[in-house]
Amino acid sequence: DCQMFFSDHLHVDIAVRGEGELTFAEILDQLDLHHSTNLEVLRAVPGLSYRVPNGVYRTENRERIADLNTIPSAYLTGLFDEFGSVRSSAIIETNRGCPYGCTFCDWGSATLSKVRKFDLERVFAELEWSAKHRIEDASIADANFGMLERDVAITQKIADLRQVYGFPNTVGINYAKNQVKYLRDIIKILAD
């Protein structure tokens, strides 16, 4: 797929396969674009495909991140604080992975993996950061929101923040496809 993608998109030189946080950090550590454009320095970075003179080089696969809480939060570290209340959207991930392989969806077929969760305190803190900064849309980036019992508590937190801060105005969600046990409560909380 990368071979075809690179031939169709001549402006792209590097593709990260799988989760990108660690891989992208290693790319930045290895590249020295001020002195060289040689991508061969990326040969030891797992999870990459990149252009070489005779085609595409593919490094070994990178293992999935076992503990998602090792990924720093751009919201909670203050990285976005300088933007103030931009009133746009915040993408918040409460979990990662999809245990299903639905034919209509590339999400599960790409990961078909155990669902790993961010700590609930972190999720609540990111949602609160968004509400305090008057972010209009809180997009939940999970493949199956409503699959886990804790998703009801996350939804209630969003509703509570809306009562306190007036935000978010909208919530984008990809609802659970094969597990609907908690969806009635979630939809009721959002509707109310």
pLDDT (tens digit per residue) in 95-151: 998 888 777 776 655 556 788 999 999 999 999 999 999 999 999 999 899 999 999
pLDDT of residue 34: 85
pLDDT of residue 99: 82
pLDDT tens track for 25-68: 999 999 988 888 889 999 999 999 999 988 899 999 999 999 99
Asked whether the predicted pLDDT for residue 83 surpasses 80, the reply is no
pLDDT of residue 85: 63
**Residue type present at position 12:** V
pLDDT of residue 51: 93
pLDDT of residue 109: 54
85 or 190, greater pLDDT: 190
Phi, psi of 24 (to 5 degrees): -65, -40
Residue 102 CA, distance from chain mean position: 20
Measure the CA–CA gap between 156 and 137, rounded to whole angstroms: 16
The model carries a pTM of: 0.86
Burial class (CB in 10 A: 0-12, 13-18, 19+), 117: middle
Given pLDDT bands bounded at 50, 70 and 90, which one contains residue 152?
A: very high
Phi, psi of 44 (to 5 degrees): -95, 0
46 upstream amide cis, omega within 30 of 0: no
pLDDT of residue 97: 86
Task: Tell me the two tokens of residue 176.
Answer: 């659970």
Give the relative orientation of helices 150-165 and 120-132 as an angle to the nearest 10 degrees.
Answer: 20
pLDDT of residue 111: 56
